[in-house]
Amino acid sequence: KVSPSAAPERLPFCRVTEEDLAFFRKILAGRTIVDPDLVEPSNVDWLKSVRGSSEVLLRPQTTEEVSQILSYCNSRNLAVNPQGGNTGLVGGSVPVYDEIILSTSLMNKILNFDSISGVLTCQAGCVLENLSFYLEERDYIMPLDLGAKGSCQIGGNVATNAGGLRLLRYGSLHGTVLGLELVLADGQVLDCLSTLRKDNTGYDLKQLFIGSEGTLGVITAVSILCPRKPKSVNVVFLGCETFEQLLKTFQLCKGMLGEILSAFEFLDSECMRLLNTHLKLPNPISDCPFYIVIETSGSDPTHDAQKLHNFLEEAMTSSLVSDGTVATEEAKIKALWSLRERVTEALTHDGFTYKYDISLPVERIYQLVTDMRKHLGNRAKSVVGYGHVGDGNLHLNVTSPSKDPALLAAIEPFVYEWTASCRGSISAEHGLGLKKRNYIYYSKQSQAVALMGNIKAMLDPKGILNPYKTLPDNLKQ
């Protein structure tokens, strides 16, 4: 029996020849990279857990160049791996075999910003943090924010439908992305780069590409609706004795902070231990089993401070939280946020990490961590839980000193069966990529998966775009 996490077999794509390289060099002079040392970083994912063996990295600058590349690869039956900032966590961003890597890193131009509507239009390779800096100077912000902001690109964010730390407030990219420009597998350019809020003329095709992980088309440009920069931002770091109290704090917080609540995130004491040990980040409050990061964003500092004060007083007097600290100035806000944002980094220093990104009814999310700890006993080094409570999204991570197939067999399918029993999602925000592709049936009906296969076959009949990713192996790609 083949394990669902085993490497797929190489599909019969052609291999790159000298004639192919001559073609690429003609359209991308100086941007057709074949030096193995320069290609190497693009063959390995951020977690250093997946390694491809591509020999060619292409760095187009324009949509027209992407179109020429795909048209050629399609006619030659050459597989292509679209790559943004290479921060993806499910092995989707790197080749599995010798797929040509198509990097969007040089497609980093801002095309337009409309300061009345707040709509930003840019090329897909713009780094998320650079877009944030650009907008902040104009009194706006990006509607999404995540720990990988310094490297991830907006095209990659859209391709994975990244959630992140502000989803609670500004919603998912399915709502904020207003338009996309795409290049299909055969090189056709699909211009859906609308900047309109409302457009019900037929099917909303762009939605199909949001979260399609590079399997249906290459995103070359994005238009996105950006909120005004809030005039007042506060961050609170709180400690709770139980997860039940944390949930009650969430309820209280939604009621008392209402429209100014912009994030409600959590980490457990195991995360704090890893932050202390591996990154030397000190705990700003007393030791507690659970920690909460709450952010408020509003337009009136006095009003927000009053609301926050009332909430904190209530949370303290009703003993929901046992300790806490508040930040209003930027440096302290950043320091508190890094306790949440840098857990992923801390985990990489703890050992080989098995990652699970689960959506569950919010009241069940920590039960999975507790059950997993019981289930694994002393077989794991660390079992940690953190994530986006406000979105019902748990990040369950298990580490071991090195890759450990026996430990993996103990975690899976236990974690997936547990999730499916609550009708949860086995990938809340990171996608399926290479690692989770065969587990899709835990969260999607077989009819739905078959329909996905039909859509893939229609848009990419030869299956050249990011093969071995997202769709399960039993669907012919």
Say if CB 358 and CB 411 are below 8 A apart: no
Say if CB 467 and CB 54 are below 8 A apart: no
Neighbours of 458 (CB within 10 A): 9
The single residue among 4, 95, 163, 324 that binds ligand FAD, judged by CB under 6 A, is 163
> Which partner in ligand 2HG, ligand FAD, none is near 156 (CB below 5 to 8 A by kind)?
ligand FAD
Tell me, what DSSP letter sits at residue 16? P
Most distant CA pair in the chain: distance in Å?
74
**Identity of the residue, 89 or 178, whose beta carbon is nearer to ligand 2HG in the bound complex:** 89
Does position 89 interact with ligand FAD (CB under 6 A)? The reply is yes
435 in helix, strand or coil? coil
Cβ within 8 Å of residue 439, ≥6 positions away: 4, 412, 413, 416, 426, 432
Q: Burial level of 207, CB count in 10 A (0-12/13-18/19+)?
A: middle
**Identity of the residue, 86 or 344, whose beta carbon is nearer to ligand 2HG in the bound complex:** 344
Residues in contact with ligand FAD, shown as a per-residue x/- string from 107 to 146 under the rule CB under 6 A: -----------------x---------------------x
Q: How near is the Cβ of 387 to ligand FAD at its closest, in Å?
A: 9
Place of tokens 């990061």: 293
The single residue among 56, 219, 257, 263 that binds ligand FAD, judged by CB under 6 A, is 219
Does position 295 interact with ligand FAD (CB under 6 A)? The reply is no
φ/ψ (deg, to 5) at 136: -60, -35
Residues in contact with ligand 2HG, shown as a per-residue x/- string from 429 to 468 under the rule CB under 6 A: ----------------------------------------
> Which partner in ligand 2HG, ligand FAD, none is near 46 (CB below 5 to 8 A by kind)?
ligand FAD
Does position 213 interact with ligand FAD (CB under 6 A)? The reply is yes
**Identity of the residue, 226 or 308, whose beta carbon is nearer to ligand FAD in the bound complex:** 226
Neighbours of 421 (CB within 10 A): 10
Q: How near is the Cβ of 238 to ligand 2HG at its closest, in Å?
A: 18
Please give the structure tokens belonging to residue 392: 């019902």
Tell me, what DSSP letter sits at residue 52? -
**Identity of the residue, 52 or 431, whose beta carbon is nearer to ligand 2HG in the bound complex:** 431
Does position 86 interact with ligand FAD (CB under 6 A)? The reply is yes
Residues in contact with ligand FAD, shown as a per-residue x/- string from 341 to 360 under the rule CB under 6 A: ---x----------------
Q: How near is the Cβ of 174 to ligand 2HG at its closest, in Å?
A: 17
Say if CB 94 and CB 86 are below 8 A apart: yes
Say if CB 243 and CB 228 are below 8 A apart: no
The single residue among 169, 395, 437, 469 that binds ligand 2HG, judged by CB under 6 A, is 395
Say if CB 69 and CB 26 are below 8 A apart: no
Residues lying near ligand 2HG in the complex (CB under 6 A) are found at: 89, 147, 344, 355, 357, 387, 395, 397
